[in-house]
Amino acid sequence: MEKKFINLTKNSSVGVPELDAQHDHLINLINKLNKMCLGREEVSDIAYAMMIKQTLYFIQFHNNCEKELMEETNYPGLDVHNKFHHVFFMNFLKKIRAFESRECVSLEKLPDFLYEWLNSHLIMDMDFGLHVRKSGYLVA
């Protein structure tokens, strides 16, 4: 089945340039990773492992950036938002570890998992983006 790859559109912009740039990069990473998952026979294990690591690191970096910005702008939804980041990250790690330890031999469901997460992540960041814009952070 052909998967659709997603793009950052005006509708998914959160209105904060540094977050939009990170989301754009995140989307590119996830699209690339998904391409690898779906055509695994053409990808070496090393290339695959590096791509997963790169994606994991970037998600962690992005979550940390958002956390710092939430603290800096006194975002009232900080705890709930961080918990959402954390739960997803741990689930992602669990899937990768299961794959690495060969408990689960295929990552073919990873694309759906990542796209679902990305959509809910972007929706949740809308409220945060609105808060950042109202806080005056972008003007300073």
Residues that bind Fe ion (CB under 5 A): 66, 125
Q: How far is the CB of 44 from Fe ion (least distance, A)?
A: 30
Smallest gap from residue 100 Cβ to Fe ion (A): 26
Supply the minimum distance, in Å, between the C-beta of residue 84 and Fe ion.
7
Q: Which is nearer to Fe ion, 99 or 118 (CB)?
A: 118
Distance (Å, whole) CA 80 – CA 38: 33
Nearer to Fe ion, 14 or 99 (CB): 14
Cβ-based nearer residue to Fe ion, 52 or 81: 81
Q: Least separation, in Å, of the C-beta of 82 and Fe ion? A: 9
Of 31 and 125, the one with the shorter C-beta distance to Fe ion is: 125
Long-range contacts of residues 66-72, Cβ cutoff 8 Å, at least 24 apart? 66/19, 66/125, 66/128, 69/16, 69/19, 69/128, 69/132, 69/137, 70/128, 72/137
Write the single-letter amino acid at 27.
Answer: I
Residue nearest Fe ion by beta-carbon distance: 125
Determine if residue 15 is left, alpha or beta; phi over 0 gives left, psi from -120 to 50 gives alpha, anything else beta: left
In this structure, are residues 125 and 23 in contact, taking their beta carbons and an 8 Å threshold? yes
